[in-house]
Amino acid sequence: MTHVIDSEFYKHVYATDEMRDVFDPNKRLQRWLNVQAALITVQAKMDLVPRAEADEIVKCCDLDQLEFSPKSNNFCGSDQLLSSLLNAVKTACGNDAADHVNSGVCSQDIQDTATVLEIKDAYMIMLRDLLQIESIIIPMIEKYKSQPMAGRTHKQHGPPITIGFKFAGFAAEIRREIERMKDMHKRIFCGALHGVSGTMLEGGAKAYDIYEALMDQLGLDVAPAGLGSARDNIGEFQVITGMIAGSVGRIVNEIYELSGSELSELHEPLSKAYVGSSAMPHKRNAEVCAFAVAQCRIVQQNTALGLQSMTGEHERDARALNLDLHNLPETCVIMARALAATIQTLDGIDIFEKNITRNLDALDGMLFSEALMFHLAPKIGKQTAHDIILFACKEAHDTQTPIKNVLLAHPEILGVATEADFDEVMVYGKHIGKCVEQSDDVVRISKEASVNDHYFLQA
């Protein structure tokens, strides 16, 4: 197992086949050939290369047909790999055509443009999965928007929320990540044809026409100036991916937390084949969530590398470029798996309503401290009520007495409130604030923002 995303035994846990395929080594070479073929087609259209020879080159830009088997021990860099690939094309297409292979272009142009095509494929998968996560969450918001659940701040119970409101928080954040992906779409899909130092000298007088036509053919955008050492677009993609890992990581981490034995409120769906422990048959580990959290952390860590690859020197700097060779496949493949894991977790998630109700009562009514304070506020003042309840809660906690009883015995409360008053206040469903309205707002905002989603999923 050299790397876990390719491990014979664990690749299904750390990677998805679909995203690994985007970064398949031979696919990458084929993309280089595709860029080459597109270029020659454009050059032929502009009468810069004879038609027949261009056709011959295009025919030869097919990895399966090429005699090409580089030994990894005598290859010392991406540029050399590309040039030996192009030599194979030259050999295959005969002398006349060979002269036209890779003319007016440098190897970084081919590689960077192919990288942008890879990023585009990865982008589509990530965006599609984020949309799917949102679409699974939204019906759950609707279904559970008024069902109370303990709210927790700093791991301590606070005013109740609703199950639907928790999901609304997930959906709102996922929607913002979707919008961030849409925001960067206009910037990050620019390809390159700017030559070795970025001046487009190699393209001659028609350099701009060739560049524009090539990008059009490949479905990419035109950059105002060469991107040789300006790698901020790739950096932005990695930064946003790191943020998506934060948002997705929060969801799976939350489900992991709420699935512990003491809480047992939510749980990822367990399949029939599930095995929790080699020792203890009862174990119900939230394994999928656990892996996904770990994966999100790896992705976030790679963001730092993505930023470092932005500080290249001069017109080209392999110390920066080479980071992306590591970073992009690892980040995208692991992110894709975390996204798939999140879908797997949410789709059919176990919601243990009984435990949720039981946990609400864990503090024997103390969760109503704020509600009780507001109930008492008109009679004795809010800050006074706050202080009385603060001490009453301490006593209730230390003596394991329900808060209601402690308060009813408090001298300043005598004559101010009765048990019946308190019972009327102490109903969880009455204290969910604006959970329902907020849940509705989140659904509405997501729907409004989603009207142009489809545009961003087009290749």
Compute the least distance from the CB of residue 456 to other proteins, in Å.
14
Question: Binding to other proteins (CB under 8 A): which residues in 314-343?
Answer: 314-318
Pairwise CA distance, residues 25 & 21, whole Å:
9
Q: How far is the CB of 389 from other proteins (least distance, A)?
A: 13
One of 300, 327, 331, 345 touching other proteins (CB under 8 A) = 300
Measured torsion, CA atoms of residues 22, 222, 236, 241, in degrees rounded to the nearest 10: -30
Is residue 109 involved in binding other proteins (CB under 8 A)? Answer: no
Pairing of strands 266-267, 156-162: unpaired
Q: Tokens at residue 3, please?
A: 């790397």
Q: Which stretch binds other proteins (CB under 8 A): 15-23, 55-63, 80-88, 300-308?
A: 300-308
Q: Which of 33/174 has CB closer to other proteins? A: 174
Strand 156-162 to 148-153 pairing: antiparallel
Please tell me whether residue 355 binds other proteins under the rule CB under 8 A: no
Residues 363-402 that bind other proteins (CB under 8 A): 370-371, 374, 377, 381-384
- Which of positions 237-276 make contact with other proteins (CB under 8 A)? 239, 242-243, 245-247, 249-250, 253-254, 257
Question: Which CB, 38 or 98, lies closer to other proteins?
Answer: 98
Residue tagged 């409120």 (tokens): 265
- 230 in contact with other proteins (CB under 8 A): yes
Q: Is 132 helix (H, G, I), strand (E, B) or coil?
A: helix
Reduce the DSSP state of residue 266 to 3 states and report it.
strand
Supply angle C-alpha 37, 40, 45, rounded to 5: 125
Q: Give the nearest distance from C-beta 381 to other proteins in angstroms.
A: 4
Residues numbered 410 to 449 that lie near other proteins (CB under 8 A) are 431-435, 437-439, 441-442, 445
Pick 61 or 442: Cβ nearer other proteins? 442
User: Which pair of structure tokens corresponds to residue 32?
Assistant: 């280089």
Cα dist from 325 to 18, 225, 234, whole Å: 19, 23, 11
Between 12 and 31, how does the x/- string for binding to other proteins read (CB under 8 A)?
--------------------
**Taking the CB of residue 260, how many other CB atoms lie within 10 A of it?**
12
- Residue 343's nearest CA partner among 134, 157, 140, 146 is 134
Q: Which of 26, 65, 277, 301 binds other proteins (CB under 8 A)?
A: 301
Among 31, 120, 145, 175, binds other proteins (CB under 8 A): 175
- Between strands 148-153 and 350-351, the pairing is unpaired
Which one among 84, 87, 132, 308 touches other proteins, defined by CB under 8 A? 308
Of the pair 216, 370, the CB lying nearest other proteins is at 370
Q: How far is CA 155 from CA 100, 294, 302, 318, 321, in A?
A: 67, 21, 29, 47, 43
Token pair in block for residue 70: 């580089």
Q: Which residue lies nearer to other proteins by CB, 274 or 429?
A: 429
| Residue 1: other Cβ atoms inside 10 A | 9
Distant-in-sequence, close-in-space partners of 326: CB < 8 Å, separation ≥ 6: 305
Total residues contacting other proteins (rule CB under 8 A)?
94
Q: Considering beta carbons, is residue 153 or 261 the nearer one to other proteins? A: 153
Pick the closer one to other proteins by CB: 20 or 365. Answer: 365
Residues in region 183-222 near other proteins by CB under 8 A = 183-184, 187, 195-203, 207-208
Nearest approach in angstroms of CB 406 to other proteins is: 22
